[in-house]
Copies of this chain bind each other. A is one copy, B any other.
């Protein structure tokens, strides 16, 4: 049985900590960024170092008080928002925001969990290196949370997901013990990979307090192009052609549906549109090359070859870094335009690459049978990751679709599942998709997860109700 983070518990805990470590939880700790959930908490703890995190977790473990580890609060699946009848202690890592050390020769940077992603990127840049994790919320998302949910973003195609950028971790386990695993090794086969188990476990198995992160050489030559393709199928063939010609030089390959441009024109008319008539499909290709190469040549060569194969029929290559930025600004404004229009339902999904085009076709047909709808489908095509968002028909508002929301969501998720895809590509499960994980997840995997959870967190104090549903998680 969990017990509340009440005054008596807080009084006992405060005796073991510096006086300003515990505070009443400001509203910002209790709000989900899109306003879809509001949480509750007995207090927020603001530890300054791993030892204080250890003291806090040991006390919660002994008292059976639930803990929610808190990063930048930018997660989109409610993993950071306590729900139900529990009263948790929020442990915010915001005071542990140091970049402890940069090792340029090793291409390694050690950051505390509370370091903001943009600061880590800047720390790498100051050392002449690149930390490639990049996503919309990088100005407020913190490393601990980004690793807890194995964040994705726009550079996964080239550099991998967040987990692929981690060499080592420092983690406080649920009972307060500290795992000192901050190594800086590229190869280390000494036992089970706890690092990857902690990454993506969304605060349910421990609190990440620091990470040693991989850095990369900064691509010296950059370039980008927008190319108009007939279909998602053609976009995928263009990707294969680009990979064959340019190898790892492709940093991002983003699919943009015509509806995205329509929404942009409506919501943000000041943005310059790249083509006179909005194409049905286009891709944004971003290159990062070594010093001896020329991005414009590479993109022109790719475009010519793609034209020969009938894969593209229009395109524009960025003539300057400013224009490249403009292309990216267009891409990154789509979520804002979406918010302006107001989605009925949003889906962060992934599919095997060869299922993407059939999925888009079948999903469009199926939704049309439910009701008149608009779909804005865009995303990280190279990773098979679509943001598939469903909107009201023109002139209608989303309230009129309220009764259809569940049906739409279930239709999309069923189809994704049937086609071998994932209902959470890069956002995680949190609380919003915990029931979906029971529906669509492999039951043997779920049972193994539950066994691991019970083994490492026997009282079930770590982020109860996230990832594993609470009744599934602990049957005392």
Contact = CB atoms under 8 A, between A and B. Distances in A.
Copies of the polypeptide in the assembly:
2
A426 interface: yes
A292 interface: yes
Interface stretch (A13-21, A27-35, A306-314, A438-446): A438-446
Interface in A321-366: 350-354
Contacts of A191: 200, 429, 437, 441, 445-446, 449, 467-468
Given A161-B187, A193-B196, A467-B191, A290 B246 contact: yes
Nearest to A468: B191
A186 interface: yes
A192 B201 contact: yes
A160 to B, nearest CB: 8
Interface in A88-123: 103, 105-108
A61 to B, nearest CB: 14
A445 B181 contact: yes
Interface residues of A, number: 98
Nearest to A108: B352
A187 B385 contact: yes
A240 interface: yes
A173 B455 contact: no
A179 B384 contact: no
A216 to B, nearest CB: 8
Interface string A59-89: 0000000000000000000000000000000
Interface in A250-309: 288-293, 298, 301
B249 A179 contact: no
A420 B449 CA distance: 31
Contacts of A399: none
Nearest to A288: B247
A404 interface: no
A120 to B, nearest CB: 19
Given A219-B247, A248-B248, A354-B106, A448 B188 contact: no
A420 B188 contact: no
Contact of A180 (B288, B428, B442): B442
Given A183-B420, A191-B467, A247-B289, A178 B444 contact: yes
Nearest to A385: B187
Interface string A418-435: 001111111111000100
Among the interface residues A188, A199, A249, which one has the most CB atoms of the partner chain B within 10 A?
A: A188
A356 to B, nearest CB: 10
Contact of A243 (B196, B217, B301, B437): B217
A423 B384 contact: no
A178 B433 CA distance: 24
Among the interface residues A187, A422, A425, A427, which one has the most CB atoms of the partner chain B within 10 A?
A: A187
28 contacts: A103-B354, A106-B353, A149-B189, A163-B196, A179-B445, A179-B448, A181-B445, A185-B420, A186-B383, A186-B384, A189-B200, A189-B427, A189-B428, A190-B422, A190-B429, A190-B433, A191-B200, A191-B437, A192-B467, A193-B199, A195-B196, A217-B247, A244-B291, A247-B289, A448-B456, A451-B456, A452-B456, A454-B455
Given A152-B189, A186-B385, 5 more contacts: A103-B353, A107-B243, A179-B448, A186-B382, A246-B290
Q: Which 6 pairs across A and B sit closest by C-beta, in order of nearness?
A: A196-B196, A455-B455, A248-B248, A187-B425, A188-B422, A184-B352
